[in-house]
């Protein structure tokens, strides 16, 4: 977890200490809860995993399903209202702003949530829906709605999102 604290310190000029980040940043706290919930989920302790996840959501206003796979050094900036669905996969060194939804559009037990590559930035209020892939280094603009793949290094913006 020290890598995560360093990532936040490097990202946020307002961060004064590692202790401040560890105790007071809701994105970090949400990831603590998720790590524990994810271990329980992989161990097939589904009810307990969901309970831990719900405690995290209640404390941080960030909802991360315990089945989601999250890489290293995810920055959740502010985070209030952020939702990460069960089959979501997030690569390393990504940044998600508040109000982001990584959601599904199907109700079958299949891969139904987005996959984000490494170093992806998702702007405030963006909705990425379905089993779409957002490539390494891509960006999604604030309040955009993405339902199709975003190639690596590209920007998706608008409703529906257009690639540039």
What integer is the mean pLDDT of 89-102?
A: 98
Query: So what's the pLDDT on residue 107?
Result: 87
CA distance 115 to 78: 21
In the chain, the number of structural domains is: 1
Range of the domain at 36: 2-163
How confident is the model at residue 23, as a pLDDT? Answer: 95
pLDDT digits (tens, 9 = 90+) for 8-64: 999 999 999 999 999 999 999 999 999 999 999 999 999 999 999 999 999 999 999
- DSSP character for 59? H
What's the helix, strand, coil split of the chain in %, to 5?
A: 30, 25, 45
Write down the pTM of the prediction.
0.95
Read off the CATH number of the domain in which 29 is found.
2.160.10.10
First-to-final CA distance of the chain: 35
As a whole number, mean pLDDT of residues 70-79 equals 96
**Residue 103 tokens, joined:** 């959601």
């Amino acid at each position: 977890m020290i890598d995560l604290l360093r990532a936040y310190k490097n990202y946020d000029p307002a961060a004064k200490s590692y202790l401040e980040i560890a105790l007071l940043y809701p994105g970090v706290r949400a990831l603590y809860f998720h790590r524990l919930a994810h271990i329980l989920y992989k161990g097939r302790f589904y009810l307990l995993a969901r309970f831990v996840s719900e405690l995290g959501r209640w404390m941080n206003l960030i909802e991360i399903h315990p089945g989601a796979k999250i890489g290293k050094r995810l920055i959740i900036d502010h985070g209030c209202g952020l939702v990460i669905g069960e089959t979501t996969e997030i690569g390393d060194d990504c940044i998600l702003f508040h109000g982001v939804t990584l959601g599904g559009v199907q109700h079958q037990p299949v891969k139904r949530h987005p996959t984000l590559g490494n170093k992806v930035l998702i702007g405030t209020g963006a909705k990425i829906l379905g089993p779409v892939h957002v490539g390494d280094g891509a960006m999604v603009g604030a309040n955009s709605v993405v339902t199709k793949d975003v190639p690596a290094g590209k920007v998706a913006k608008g409703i529906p999102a257009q690639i540039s």
